[in-house]
Amino acid sequence: MAEDYVLELEHIRKEYPGVVALKDVTLQLRRGEILGLIGENGAGKSTLIKCCSGAVIPTSGKIKINGKEFDRMSPQLAAENGIAIIYQEFNNVGELSAAENMFLGRPILKKNGIVIDRKAMEEEAAKAFAQLNIKIDPRALVKNLSVGYQQMVEIAKAIQQNAQVLIMDEPSAPLTTNEVESMFKVVELLKSRGVSIIYISHRLEEIFRLSDRIEVIRDGEYVDTLITDKDPATIPHQVDELIKLMVGREMTQKYPPRKPCVRDDVVLELQHVFGNGDEDISFQVHAGEVLGLGGLVGAGRTEIAQVIFGARPKDSGKIIFMGKEINPHATRAAIDEGIALLPEDRKRHGALLTNSIKNNISMPIYERISKATVIDSKTEHATAEKYREDIQIKCPSIHQLVKNLSGGNQQKVILAKWLAANSKLIIFDEPTRGIDVGAKFEIYKLINDLVEDGVAVLMISSEMEELIGMSDRIIVLAEGKMMGELQKDEFNADTILTYASGIVPENKKEAV
């Protein structure tokens, strides 16, 4: 019996220079079903859907739409064959009306073929909105609509273009609770009309509510597909199973051993800090301790790091550093206190790519090593050479531009800069993102050296293994709030993922 598949992806593989983003993923979407697609950060979900839209061309593999085979997609082909994608970032033009956005690039023209027929477009848009049971004025400017409605405009646009397959990438992430509810209604309505939907979300409860089947991918590979059992009694069991499938393999020994070095003295303490999207964050970091910050992308981890580093202001609460309250209004102030940040996006926020290694390393200390604004070039050279030696930055010379270094060495340069600045608290935001395995190990060793020297480390990581392997303690955030804290003996990928998806497990409820 041949199943009625509307979209089939067969053995999709995508290689980038040096990285395999997708190893072998197969996905089959039945007509009129909602397929939940889940996987950890970096599992390859986004790359996979980009293969469907033609934004990414797979290295090998086949795409079949209604049984018709394609080697590759292009955005035009995808649209012609009824595939529409609602990305996390909307493709709306804020300054145009809802109707104009719906017909962007394919306007309805008047009979003369030149002038845009605004009225016809608005009527069509109104029809599309009515079909979805949503009330949006087709003439309203999109920038004045709420995020939920902006998303609806995109969905209506897809439906108006006769989309047979709707792929939604984390659609609930930017929405409020009420908006999520109305989005669900629209999704269910579409399903009842025979539209097939791939629904990607980190929030497992949504997946259970909506999906007919759930496909799990991990590290660019297909893992399994389960049939969703909507019986509430079995859901906790299913959640456990899914998380196991997502996290997968046993944790292997990838982390260098560390001597116990956590000291009693508190380096950083946050007391009920609000601001920059975070709410009521309180925690302590001790000298010689690696405190892991877990959570999903957008959980507010980077935001709290920015607040501590003085890059963003807080609204209220106290930051106590080395025993005294600080209120850094600029990064300079935080750096002078001894706080450092290695940002997630190294190339944009961390390294000064067009400057030399030497200049990068001395950047925070130039004023200290200068007399009457004149740089003491001997100290400047000696500092750079010292750290090149100490943390083994592999480069022909310290005059090399940082853009010519590998990701791991760039990260080392940024670290060297903060070591030169005598930092007492170092915040790593995704310390090994985009760094190959060998260099990762070196970065971990450096982090060990730091804490053994008594530096306090705050490590944000979305890689579960890294978080568990490196931290002495883990705090998990979700949607800007602290969900829970785990001591070393409580570390467990399942618990962390559960906290991260915003659910407090039953046995922990009283404790929080």
Partner 1 sequence: MQENKFAAAFKQNAIWLVFIVEVAIFAYFNPKFLSLANIVNISRQVSYYGIASIGMTFVILIAGIDLSIGSIIALVNVVCAYLMMNMGWNMWLAILVSILMAILIGVLNGWMVASIGIPAIIATFASQTIFRGCAYLLSGGLPIPGVVLEHPTFGFFARWSLNRWEIFKSMGEVGLIPICAIIMILCFAVGSFILNKSYFGRYFYAIGGNEEASELSGIRVNKMKYLIYALSGFFAGLAGIVLLSRSGSAQSTAAIGFEFEVITCVVLGGVSVAGGIGRMSGVIAGVLIIGSLKSGMIMMNVSEYTQMVVQGLVLAVAVGVDCFSKKRQAS
Chain residues that interact with partner 1, rule: CB under 8 A: 309, 311, 330-332, 335-336, 341, 343, 348-355, 359-360, 362-364, 366-367, 370, 373-375, 377, 417, 421
Least gap, CB of 355 to partner 1 (angstroms): 6
Least gap, CB of 363 to partner 1 (angstroms): 4
Least gap, CB of 137 to partner 1 (angstroms): 33
Least gap, CB of 212 to partner 1 (angstroms): 45
Least gap, CB of 425 to partner 1 (angstroms): 15
Burial 16-49 (b: 16+ CB within 10 A, else e): eeeeebbbebbbbbbebbbbbbbbbebbbbbbbb
Least gap, CB of 423 to partner 1 (angstroms): 11
- Cβ-based nearer residue to partner 1, 160 or 370: 370
Q: Which residue type, as a one-letter code, is found at position 401?
A: L
- Cβ-based nearer residue to partner 1, 69 or 367: 367
- Cβ-based nearer residue to partner 1, 185 or 394: 394
- Cβ-based nearer residue to partner 1, 167 or 335: 335
**With DSSP H G I counted as helix, E B as strand and the rest as coil, what are the percentages for the chain, rounded to 5?**
35, 25, 35
- Cβ-based nearer residue to partner 1, 310 or 502: 310
Least gap, CB of 257 to partner 1 (angstroms): 32
Least gap, CB of 508 to partner 1 (angstroms): 36
- Cβ-based nearer residue to partner 1, 15 or 376: 376
Within 13 A of 30's CA, how many CA atoms are on the CB side? 15
- Cβ-based nearer residue to partner 1, 203 or 412: 412
Least gap, CB of 196 to partner 1 (angstroms): 39
DSSP state of 174: T
| SS3 state at 377 | helix
- Cβ-based nearer residue to partner 1, 294 or 408: 408
- Between CA 479 and CA 487, with CA 482 as vertex, the angle to 5 degrees is 135
| SS3 state at 159 | helix
- Cβ-based nearer residue to partner 1, 22 or 416: 416
- Rounded CA-CA distance 92/169 in Å is 16
What values do phi and psi take at 209, rounded to 5?
Answer: -65, -40
DSSP class per residue in 94-129:
TTSBHHHHHTTTS--B-TTSSSB-HHHHHHHHHHHH
Least gap, CB of 97 to partner 1 (angstroms): 28
Query: In Å, what is the CA distance from 440 to each residue of 44, 382, 432, 444?
Result: 20, 27, 6, 6
Task: Please check whether residue 263 is in contact with residue 288, taking contact to mean a CB–CB distance below 8 angstroms.
Answer: yes
- Between CA 305 and CA 384, with CA 363 as vertex, the angle to 5 degrees is 115
Q: Which residue type, as a one-letter code, is found at position 233?
A: A
- In terms of phi and psi (left: phi > 0; alpha: psi -120 to 50; beta: otherwise), the region of 400 is beta
- Cβ-based nearer residue to partner 1, 288 or 364: 364
452 token code pair: 């053994």
485 token code pair: 């804290």
DSSP H/E element including 430: none
